[in-house]
Amino acid sequence: MMLALGLALQLAASPRWLVVRDARQSLRVPTTATENGPMVRPEALRPLIAIDVKRDSMFWYTLNVWNVRLGLEIGVPVVRIDGEARQLAAAPIIKDGHLLIPLQLLSDVFPYVVPNTRWDADSSQLVVFTTSIQGASLDLPRRVVATDDAPRPRPMPDPRNQRPEKKSDRWTVIVDAGHGGVDNGMSGPIGGGPKIYEKDITLAVAMKLGATLKRQGVDVVYTRTTDTLIALDDRGRIANREGGDLFISIHVNAANPTWKDPGGARGYETYFLSEAKTEDARRVEQMENAAVRFEEAPVRVAKDDPLGFILSDMKQNEHLRESSDLADLIQQRLGTMHPGPSRGVKQAGFRVLVTAYMPAVLVEIGFGTNPREAQFLSDQRKQDTIANAVAGAAMEYLDRYARRVSGSRSGAGTLR
């Protein structure tokens, strides 16, 4: 029924052009009208998407899109991704010696398996969230953009299903540096002093956090390692594809300018995913979620997908309790070295946490709007102590979890 509907919609629309755009430019790709609906040549996407088309045999083709491999067979309405098959409304064809793929592959499949792509249904456009263009590789972690011998990303799992099987007995922690690229995040401080941008502080601390965890024998995946814009929803998707055990997102707080003394606000707080309970939690939630505006065509969250579903489902979900425990340990550890007061463990509906189906937290490591804390956060030695504190909390949590759930030694097992 759904496939028939998809085909009917393609036939009815039959646009002459497919628009592909990123934050810098738009590309109009001509479509070819066929009896099964409009189709496009995948090579035409290359100015904005790193895509390679390989003919494996007379009827078989492989599309390599930012190192995600999609297998297609001429005349067969199926796409194979890492050995798994997904039904299409129309089959790829050969016309005038060129491979043509159905628009559905771009609108329905790409957003779930290709990093940093979105289909904007309102404008019928494919949106690319990356500052790397002209065929350059997307700036993703080593284990996402990898060599041909590395594991390939799988299609996004349903949140109600189990997470991917663990590939080793080592923990995997996803380290997320908030903001990036055209999204500076907060800027400060209030009242003068050396200007700082949240995206720079979060990247510096995230890289130090990852390095510290690696020294403890943990596998680390970064959502970004350079000044690159990564869509909020894709950060959690990276975590799922890599089979992460924990997701830690680093951010810098900013005072509300309407406060009585906004420049004096200071301290650290850690959030886990749930409905915001206080006005201040809603303020931080709105501030961090506002980064979606840089994504050009943000995904609208319907009442039954995915934020509403997860917020209601997680009330009975072990990950919520585990995330709360991790957040509490991080607050305790930061309290041993941070000059500001603890603002406590809080909860809010952060989009960056929504798609990470594992214990996940967002850490506001201080107020960049406060002159003293801005100086503290900019100091590389202090960044080291912040990273060490968060890493220590993560390791303590993993050790407790291993002993509590399986009685195994630290560093073994999988959070489920």
Query: Does pLDDT of 128 surpass 90?
Result: no
Interatomic CA distance for residues 71 and 165, integer angstroms: 23
DSSP letter for 321, please: H
Give pLDDT tens digits for 295-324: 444 444 333 333 443 343 443 355 778 888
179 and 314 assigned to the same domain: yes
In a domain, 42, yes or no: yes
Q: What is the pLDDT of residue 329?
A: 97
- Determine the structural domain holding residue 189 and report its residue range: 172-405
Give the count of beta carbons closer than 10 Å to the beta carbon of residue 62.
Answer: 14
Interatomic CA distance for residues 412 and 403, integer angstroms: 10
In a domain, 315, yes or no: yes
178 and 287 assigned to the same domain: yes
Mean pLDDT of the chain: 76
Give pLDDT tens digits for 61-104: 999 988 788 999 998 888 988 767 888 888 999 998 899 999 88
For residues 153 and 243, is the Cβ–Cβ distance under 8 A? no
In a domain, 140, yes or no: no
In a domain, 369, yes or no: yes
- The domain boundary, picked from 94, 128, 162, lies at 128
103 and 204 assigned to the same domain: no
- The domain boundary, picked from 128, 163, 187, lies at 128
Report the run of H or E that residue 320 belongs to, with start and end: helix 318-334
372 and 232 assigned to the same domain: yes
Number of domains in the chain: 2
Q: How confident is the model at residue 240 (pLDDT cuts 50, 70, 90)?
A: confident
Q: What is the pLDDT of residue 15?
A: 65
For residues 239 and 174, is the Cβ–Cβ distance under 8 A? yes
CATH number of the domain bearing residue 309: 3.40.630.40
Q: How confident is the model at residue 352 (pLDDT cuts 50, 70, 90)?
A: low
79 and 213 assigned to the same domain: no
290 and 399 assigned to the same domain: yes
Query: What token pair was written down for 258?
Result: 């309407």
58 and 114 assigned to the same domain: yes
Q: How confident is the model at residue 230 (pLDDT cuts 50, 70, 90)?
A: confident
In a domain, 206, yes or no: yes
CATH number of the domain bearing residue 29: 3.30.457.10
Q: How much of the chain exceeds pLDDT 90, in percent? A: 38
DSSP letter for 16, please: S
For residue 160, which of 292, 304, 301, 303 has the smallest C-alpha distance? 304
- The domain boundary, picked from 111, 128, 145, lies at 128
In a domain, 150, yes or no: no
114 and 180 assigned to the same domain: no
In a domain, 166, yes or no: no
Interatomic CA distance for residues 93 and 72, integer angstroms: 10
198 and 277 assigned to the same domain: yes
Interatomic CA distance for residues 126 and 62, integer angstroms: 20
CA 48-54-56 angle, 5° bins: 160
- The distance from CA 281 to its chain's CA centroid, rounded to whole angstroms, is 22
Give pLDDT tens digits for 4-16: 444 444 434 456 7
In a domain, 162, yes or no: no
Q: How confident is the model at residue 145 (pLDDT cuts 50, 70, 90)?
A: very low
306 and 189 assigned to the same domain: yes
| Residue 76, burial from CB neighbour count under 10 angstroms (0-12, 13-18, 19+) | middle
Give pLDDT tens digits for 251-264: 999 998 888 899 99
Q: What is the pLDDT of residue 366?
A: 96
242 and 382 assigned to the same domain: yes
Mapped to the 3 state alphabet, what secondary structure does 151-200 carry? CCCCCCCCCCCCCCCCCCCCCEEEEEECCECCECCCEECCCCCCCEEHHH
83 and 217 assigned to the same domain: no
Q: What is the pLDDT of residue 318?
A: 56
